[in-house]
């Protein structure tokens, strides 16, 4: 039975990753999947705790995450070893590409393990002050964002190029799928390089990211101190070091394999492959005190708190944040987004809303929203426009940074207002008739004057961006959507005359 466990664990890891991949693929119009496509994010306790604290209220979508914490208190940190998609990817590449170097001297990872908790404290304190560095490091948000932004577009590109060859072999087969519109995302290369960098850390140590950097894993380590399923070693142990070598997170010390750090154990059960069968797992009382634990001095904890607080304050007072994040009139947030400072504090930058947007209109920010708003979504109308009868972005946002709106509420939400640049508009500059923006606007927010030149009715404009997207002028559009400040609701009677 013990020999089957490693294969079972790897199988479940693979299934978990491919299930996440399936959910990402199904995060698309018309969003017919009954299972929440943001399921993994809803099961992420780290995102749940921080988003609830920053949101200052209960987020019902995130409540299942606390069920995961309860299970961790019983079985220990099983999630990282069995179900984490990021852990599955790291394990795969560690086995495929990297081999841990044999060292003549024992590797002292005490400073790195201490740094792990320092980073966790820093992330929590900074997050409470609306600098969400932990969302960049959270494994579920990170792997989801990477799949959506870095890997999905190249996969569609390859699919579309291979499809004609497949169809030529089976030209009469009605089940061959048609080509898929190619999505484009502006920060894909940056996200890809960051992800590859995380995998490359496996050269130093197996699961380096999981051991020393992952904030979710650190949270699970804290709660694993309360676990009631613990490792037990009998006197038959011969110190053969097999369990030490097999442990993927180094939870079993080389000098004393009879003990283990229960807070670091990911319940992989590899140590059960003990030649004398001296290892077993038994139910017992929680052991808060641990062997060979991390010594966090008061000075180190206070230093991490101070560093997190000062970093958040510096970000908030940085000109790049105040000018780019708070005064950028081209920063159009999705319909239903919270006010800017709250939105930046709660949004995880997971990329779910980018994937579900049918017109590829939502893009991740880089520095357009300041340092604190990295990876948060914005509407880029020249790439795509906000579909009138679509409210999917609010339906897939796990932390409700984008509030779930009904279609009627969404159609009355003003994200921005269109403005005409008369120096670039064909109708004004060349006096030729051009009412493309009028023809495309389904809200009847653009009308023609006596010379058939477009005029924007601001009280009807929602800032959907279809006019900017369809404007025939080369380069920058002659009609541009600008943010109107806090999103507001238009009067219901303004929607009575809309087309369609």
pLDDT tens-digit map of 218-247:
999 999 988 999 999 999 999 898 998 889
- What are 455-487's pLDDT values in tens digits? 999 999 999 999 999 999 999 999 999 998 789
With H, G, I as helix, E, B as strand and everything else as coil, classify residue 402: strand
Position 46 scores a pLDDT of 92
DSSP labels for 76-129?
Answer: -SHHHHHT-HHHHHHHHHHHHT--PPP-SS----HHHHHHHHHHHHHHHHHHHT
Quote the DSSP letter at residue 357: -
Query: Of 108-112, 146-150, 289-293, 466-470, which gets the smallest average pLDDT?
Result: 289-293
DSSP labels for 13-66?
Answer: HHHHHHHHHHHHHT-STT---SS-TTHHHHT-HHHHHHHHHHHTS--GGGTHHH
Position 315 scores a pLDDT of 73
pLDDT at 272 over 80: yes
Q: Please compute the mean of the pLDDT values over residues 9-21 and round it to a whole number.
A: 96
Q: What percent of the chain has pLDDT over 70?
A: 90
Q: Please compute the mean of the pLDDT values over residues 42-67 and round it to a whole number.
A: 89
Position 474 scores a pLDDT of 92
Q: Does the CA dihedral 213-217-219-221 come out positive or negative?
A: negative
Position 482 scores a pLDDT of 94
pLDDT at 298 over 80: yes
Q: Please compute the mean of the pLDDT values over residues 75-86 and round it to a whole number.
A: 94
Specify whether the CB–CB gap between 335 and 410 falls below 8 A: yes
Q: Please compute the mean of the pLDDT values over residues 426-452 and round it to a whole number.
A: 90
Position 219 scores a pLDDT of 94
Instruction: Please state, rounded to an integer, the average pLDDT across all residues of the chain.
Output: 87
Selected residue with higher pLDDT from 31 and 141: 141
- Under the banding of pLDDT at 50, 70 and 90, the label for residue 495 is very low
Q: CA 75, CA 29: separation in Å to the nearest integer? A: 38
For residue 465, what are its two tokens?
């961006």
- What are 357-410's pLDDT values in tens digits? 999 999 999 888 877 788 999 999 999 999 999 999 999 999 999 999 999 999
How far apart are the two ends of the chain, measured CA to CA in Å? 63
Q: Going by C-beta distance under 8 Å and a sequence separation of 6 or more, which residues neighbour residue 74?
A: 227, 228, 229
454-478 as b/e: b if 16+ CB within 10 A:
bebeeebbbbbbbbbbbbebeeebb
Query: Of 346-350, 403-407, 447-451, 495-499, which gets the smallest average pLDDT?
Result: 495-499
For residue 143, what are its two tokens?
């792997």
With H, G, I as helix, E, B as strand and everything else as coil, classify residue 351: coil
Position 429 scores a pLDDT of 85
pLDDT at 322 over 60: no
Specify whether the CB–CB gap between 279 and 96 falls below 8 A: no
Position 499 scores a pLDDT of 42
- What are 170-218's pLDDT values in tens digits? 665 555 567 788 999 988 999 999 999 999 998 888 899 999 999 999 9
Selected residue with higher pLDDT from 309 and 267: 267
- Under the banding of pLDDT at 50, 70 and 90, the label for residue 138 is very high
For residue 106, what are its two tokens?
């024992």
31-68 as b/e: b if 16+ CB within 10 A:
eeeeebbbebbbbbbbbbbbbbebbeeebebbeebeeb
């Amino acid at each position: 039975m013990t020999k089957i466990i490693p294969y079972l664990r790897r199988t479940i890891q693979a299934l978990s990753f491919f299930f996440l991949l399936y959910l990402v693929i199904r995060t698309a119009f018309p969003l017919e999947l009954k299972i929440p496509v943001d399921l993994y994010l809803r099961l992420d306790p780290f995102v749940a705790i921080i988003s609830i604290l920053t949101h200052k209220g209960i987020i019902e979508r995130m409540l299942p995450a606390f069920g995961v914490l309860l299970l961790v208190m019983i079985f220990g940190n099983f999630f990282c070893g069995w179900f984490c998609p990021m852990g599955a990817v790291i394990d795969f590449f560690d086995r495929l590409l990297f081999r841990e170097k044999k060292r003549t001297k024992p590797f002292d990872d005490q400073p790195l393990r201490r740094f792990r908790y320092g980073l966790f404290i820093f992330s929590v304190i900074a997050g409470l002050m609306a600098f969400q560095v932990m969302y960049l490091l959270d494994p579920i948000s990170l792997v989801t964002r990477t799949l959506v932004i870095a890997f999905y577009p190249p996969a569609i590109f390859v699919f579309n190029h291979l499809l004609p060859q497949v169809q030529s072999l089976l030209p009469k087969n009605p089940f061959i799928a048609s080509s898929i519109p190619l999505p484009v995302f502006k920060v894909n290369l940056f996200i890809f390089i960051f992800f590859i960098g995380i995998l490359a850390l496996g050269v130093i140590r197996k699961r380096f990211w999981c051991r020393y950097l992952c904030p979710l894993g650190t949270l699970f380590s804290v709660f694993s101190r309360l676990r009631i399923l613990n490792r037990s070693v009998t006197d038959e142990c011969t110190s053969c070091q097999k369990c030490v070598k097999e442990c993927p997170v180094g939870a079993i010390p080389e000098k004393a394999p009879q003990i283990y750090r229960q807070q670091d154990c990911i319940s992989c059960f590899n140590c059960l492959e003990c030649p004398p069968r001296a290892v077993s797992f038994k139910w017992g009382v929680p052991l808060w005190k641990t062997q060979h634990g991390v010594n966090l001095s008061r000075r180190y904890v206070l230093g991490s708190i101070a560093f997190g607080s000062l970093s958040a304050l510096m970000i908030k007072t940085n000109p790049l944040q105040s000018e780019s994040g708070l005064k950028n009139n081209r920063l159009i947030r999705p319909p239903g987004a919270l006010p800017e400072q709250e939105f930046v504090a709660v949004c995880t930058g997971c990329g779910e809303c980018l994937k579900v947007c049918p017109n590829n209109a939502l893009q991740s920010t880089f520095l357009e929203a300041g340092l604190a708003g990295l990876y948060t979504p914005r509407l880029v109308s020249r790439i795509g426009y906000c579909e009138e009868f679509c409210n999917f972005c609010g339906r897939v946002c796990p932390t409700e940074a984008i509030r779930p709106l009904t279609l009627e509420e969404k159609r009355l939400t003003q994200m921005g207002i269109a403005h005409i640049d008369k120096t670039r508009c064909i109708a004004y500059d060349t006096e030729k008739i051009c009412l493309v923006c009028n023809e495309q606007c389904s809200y009847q927010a653009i009308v023609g004057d006596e010379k058939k030149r477009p005029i924007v009715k601001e009280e009807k404009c929602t800032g959907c961006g279809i006019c900017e997207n369809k404007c025939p002028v080369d380069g920058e559009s002659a009609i541009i959507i600008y943010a109107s400040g806090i999103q507001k609701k238009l009067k219901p009677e303004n929607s009575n005359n809309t087309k369609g």
